[in-house]
């Protein structure tokens, strides 16, 4: 399996992406949980119990792409994580308006984050689209990037009318 290189996904080629990455300690009951490597996991929204669970598997930084006023957003998420010694970056991405500036902030946050890092939003749809675009930028072939995206959703094949902007967003996958 090909593994994109770069700080965001530094991991040995034999341990990248897929079921072989499953860790029995993973809190895979977190909404839309996905392990991408030893260094990167993703999910949908977190609950009050989840920061401690992430700390328990060694997460050192969390990147949140959800809006903090979403009804399912975890109140005071940054403070809860800080109390556990976990770094936090919040990049609020409106679901109807993802932009290149959001992607640039995401790449910068990911590059600067202590590993392991966990990236989440509400449904893991924003995150999967951002990771798809990053995977393509890092040289992952389209079929492999598509397969990872489709674990969560594929805006190019969604009946959700809000998916149109996300399909356009991921179409920029080979450029930053």
Question: By C-alpha distance, which of 170, 88, 73, 90 is closest to 130?
Answer: 170
pLDDT of residue 24: 82
Query: What digits encode the pLDDT tens for the residues 51-99?
Result: 999 999 999 999 999 999 999 999 999 999 999 999 999 999 999 999 9
pLDDT of residue 20: 58
The reported pTM is: 0.87
Query: What dotted CATH number matches 7-15+27-171?
Result: 3.90.190.10
Question: What three-state secondary structure class fits 32?
Answer: coil
Q: Are strands 61-64 and 87-90 parallel, antiparallel or unpaired?
A: parallel
Alpha-carbon torsion, ordered 64, 67, 70, 74, to 10 deg: 30
Query: What digits encode the pLDDT tens for the residues 129-146?
Result: 999 999 999 999 999 999
Distance CA 94, CA 81 (A): 23
Residue 4 has pLDDT above 90, yes or no: no
Q: Which residues lie closer than 8 Å to 32 by C-beta, 6 or more apart?
A: 42, 43, 44, 123, 124, 152
What average pLDDT score do residues 30-48 get? 95
Question: By C-alpha distance, which of 49, 47, 45, 26 is closest to 37?
Answer: 26
Q: Which residues lie closer than 8 Å to 7 by C-beta, 6 or more apart?
A: 110, 111
Distance CA 171, CA 164 (A): 11
Domain boundaries, given as residue ranges, for the chain: 7-15+27-171
Q: How far is CA 98 from the centre of its chain?
A: 14
Distance CA 110, CA 104 (A): 10
């Amino acid at each position: 399996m090909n593994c994109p290189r770069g700080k965001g996904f530094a991991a040995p080629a034999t341990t990248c992406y897929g079921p072989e990455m499953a860790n029995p300690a993973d809190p895979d009951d977190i909404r839309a949980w996905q392990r991408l490597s030893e260094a990167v996991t993703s999910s949908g929204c977190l609950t009050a119990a989840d920061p401690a669970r992430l700390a328990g598997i060694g997460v050192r930084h969390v990147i949140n792409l959800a809006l903090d006023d979403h009804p399912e957003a975890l109140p005071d998420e940054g403070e809860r994580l800080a109390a556990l010694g976990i770094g936090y970056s919040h990049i609020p991405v409106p679901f109807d308006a993802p932009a290149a500036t959001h992607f640039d902030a995401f790449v910068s946050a990911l590059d600067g984050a202590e590993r392991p890092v966990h990236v989440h939003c509400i449904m893991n749809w924003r995150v999967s689209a951002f990771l798809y675009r990053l995977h393509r930028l890092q040289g992952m072939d389209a079929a492999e990037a598509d397969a990872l995206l489709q674990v969560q959703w594929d805006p190019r094949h969604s009946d959700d009318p809000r998916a149109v902007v996300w399909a356009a967003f991921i179409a920029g996958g080979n450029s930053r």
